[in-house]
């Protein structure tokens, strides 16, 4: 089974998303692969209604570190659960880089999300500078060790790792399948080192970064890749559905 996750980022309105969801639900009626979309907060309640009875999982793109209280502008894990959200993205590079989200914060968010029964898609990935300096492995090791600090091996069943090299996001320049295979093997080794060989093998790892209808199948067929986290190319329901159907 493959995992096809979409990330809307800050796109569309609630009015737009209704038609989108109807198309997606129709096109995924008998889908055996896992299909999921992470939508803006404002869309979640409506999306839940439209996804009722469908196979499509619903996610948010972020979650608060704290449980509740004086945190103006934040949305808690309880609030997401309350509207029927299944999972949340955590640590997307846009959150880390534009909003200075630290590994410490990512770690707190993962713990909060899991404690409240949300599944987690933990996003990791290196910058172009790190890649060019030949430090991908040490960077990912530090990122994963800090993000997963204090989490138990049995909690990994509710965590998906999305490897999204920053230089490939929104650039139209995806990593090559060779690069993806190599780096995802590194990610699995790191997880094996932190937990166990079994954990490294079993953890679900997605690739993200300029996945499009042309490279989708070859990326999904790359060794070690369980699925994709798709930004730009998920925004058109027909395009997204035909990628899913092409599997």
Neighbours of 199 (CB within 10 A): 17
Does the footprint of ligand 13P cover residue 62 (CB under 6 A)? no
Q: Total residues at the site for ligand 13P (CB under 6 A)?
A: 14
Cα within 13 Å of Cα(113), Cβ side: 33
Instruction: Convert residues 221-240 into a mask of x (bound to ligand 13P by CB under 6 A) and - (unbound).
Output: --------xxxxx-------
| 144 vs 211, beta carbon nearer ligand 13P | 211
Catalytic annotation, pick one of 34, 65, 94, 164: 164
Q: Catalytic site residue 43?
A: no
210 scored as a contact of ligand 13P (CB under 6 A):
yes
- Return the number of the residue (158 or 212) whose C-beta is nearest ligand 13P: 212
Q: How far is the CB of 124 from ligand 13P (least distance, A)?
A: 11
3-state secondary structure of 50: helix
Beta bridge partners of 204: 160
Our CB check for ligand 13P shows the closer of 7 and 105 to be 7
Q: Does 169 bind ligand 13P (CB under 6 A)?
A: yes
Over the Cα atoms of the chain, what is R_g?
17
161 binds ligand 13P (CB under 6 A): no
Q: How many helices (H) and strands (E) does the chain have?
A: 11, 8
Closer residue to ligand 13P (CB): 7 or 222: 7
Q: Per-residue DSSP letters for 90-140? A: E--HHHHHHS---HHHHHHHHHHHHHTT-EEEEEE---HHHHHTT-HHHHH
Catalytic residue among 92, 94, 101, 126: 92
The question of whether 193 is a catalytic residue gets the answer no
Q: Residue 123's beta-bridge partner residues? A: 162
208 sits near ligand 13P (criterion: CB under 6 A): yes
Residues making contact with ligand 13P (CB under 6 A): 7, 92, 164, 169-170, 208-211, 229-233
By annotation, the residues acting in catalysis are: 92, 164
């Amino acid at each position: 089974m493959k995992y096809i996750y979409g990330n809307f980022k800050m796109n569309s309105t609630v009015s737009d998303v209704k038609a989108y969801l109807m198309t997606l639900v129709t096109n995924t009626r008998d889908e055996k692969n896992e299909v999921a979309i992470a939508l803006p907060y404002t869309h979640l309640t409506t999306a839940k209604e439209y996804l009722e009875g469908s196979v499509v999982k619903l996610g948010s793109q972020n979650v608060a570190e704290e449980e509740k209280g004086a945190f103006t502008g934040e949305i808690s894990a309880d609030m997401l659960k309350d509207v029927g959200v299944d999972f949340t993205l955590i640590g997307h590079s846009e959150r880390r880089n534009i909003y200075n989200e630290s590994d410490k914060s990512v770690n707190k968010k993962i713990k909060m999300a899991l404690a409240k029964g949300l599944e987690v898609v933990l996003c990791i990935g290196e910058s172009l500078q790190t890649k060019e300096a030949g430090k991908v492995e040490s960077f990912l090791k530090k990122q994963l060790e800090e993000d997963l600090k204090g989490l138990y091996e049995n909690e990994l069943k509710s965590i998906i790792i999305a490897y999204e090299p920053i230089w490939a996001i929104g650039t139209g320049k995806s990593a090559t399948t060779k690069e993806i295979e190599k780096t995802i093997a590194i990610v699995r080794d790191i997880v094996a080192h932190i937990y166990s060989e079994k954990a490294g093998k079993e953890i679900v790892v997605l690739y993200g970064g300029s996945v499009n209808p042309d490279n989708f199948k070859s990326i999904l067929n790359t060794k070690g890749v369980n699925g994709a986290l798709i930004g730009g190319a998920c925004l058109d329901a027909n395009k997204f559905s035909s990628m899913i159907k092409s599997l």
